[in-house]
Amino acid sequence: MKPIAPSELIITNRGAIYHLDLLPDELAPIVLTVGDPDRVKVVSKYFDTIEVQRQHREFVTHTGTLGKKRISVVSTGIGPDNIDIVLNELDALVNIDFNTRTIKPNLSSLSILRLGTSGSLQADIPVDSFVAGTHGLGLDNLLHFYRLEQNEEEQELLQSFLTQTQIHHSITQPYISAAAPSLLKHFTEGYHQGITVTCPGFYGPQGRILRLGLAAPQLVDRLTDFQYGQHRITNFEMETSAIYGLSRLLGHHCLSLNVIVANRVNKTFSSDGQAGVEKLIVRSLEIIAGT
Ligand code: R1P
Ligand code: URA
Question: How high is the ipTM of this complex?
Answer: 0.99
**Is 19 within a domain?**
no
pLDDT at 18: 98
Asked if residue 135 lies in contact with residue 174, where contact means CB atoms within 8 angstroms, the answer is no
The fraction of the chain above a pLDDT of 90, given in percent, is 98
Q: What is the mean pLDDT of residues 227-252?
A: 98
The answer for residues whose C-beta is within 8 angstroms of residue 218's C-beta and 6 or more apart is none
**Is 132 within a domain?**
yes
**Is 251 within a domain?**
yes
Q: Rounded CA gap, 94 and 104, in Å?
A: 9
Residues 109-121: tens digit of each pLDDT: 999 999 999 999 9
**Is 9 within a domain?**
no
pLDDT at 103: 98
CA distances 106 to 29, 38, 97, Å, are 15, 35, 11
Measured in Å, residue 35 CA sits from the centre of ligand 1 at: 5
By residue count, the chain amounts to 291
**Nearest 5°: phi and psi at 253?**
-100, 130
Nearest by Cα to 79 from 138, 31, 24:
138
Closest-approaching ligand to the CA atom of 36: 1
Residues 173-226: tens digit of each pLDDT: 999 999 999 999 999 999 999 999 999 999 999 999 999 999 999 999 999 999
- pLDDT above 90: residue 287: yes
pLDDT at 170: 83
Greatest Cα pair distance, the chain, in angstroms, is: 57
CATH number of the domain enclosing 146: 3.40.50.1580
Atom 5, ligand 1: residue with shortest CA distance: 117
**Is 139 within a domain?**
yes
State which amino acid sits at residue 207.
Answer: G
pLDDT at 169: 84
pLDDT at 168: 86
**Is 15 within a domain?**
no
State if residue 270 touches ligand 2 by the CB under 6 angstroms criterion. Answer: no
Domain that holds residue 75: 24-290
Asked if residue 80 lies in contact with residue 138, where contact means CB atoms within 8 angstroms, the answer is yes
The answer for residues whose C-beta is within 8 angstroms of residue 1's C-beta and 6 or more apart is 102, 103
Q: How many domains does the chain have?
A: 1
Q: Rounded CA gap, 113 and 73, in Å?
A: 9
**Is 14 within a domain?**
no
Atom 5, ligand 2: residue with shortest CA distance: 119
**Is 198 within a domain?**
yes
Atom 6, ligand 2: residue with shortest CA distance: 119
- pLDDT above 90: residue 26: yes
pLDDT at 219: 96
The answer for residues whose C-beta is within 8 angstroms of residue 278's C-beta and 6 or more apart is 42
| Own/partner long-range contacts of 179-185 (Cβ < 8 Å, ≥24 apart) | 179/132, 179/133, 179/134, 179/135, 179/136, 179/244, 179/254, 179/255, 179/256, 180/111, 180/247, 180/253, 180/254, 180/255, 182/253, 183/111, 183/113, 183/253, 183/254, 183/255, 184/132, 184/134, 184/255
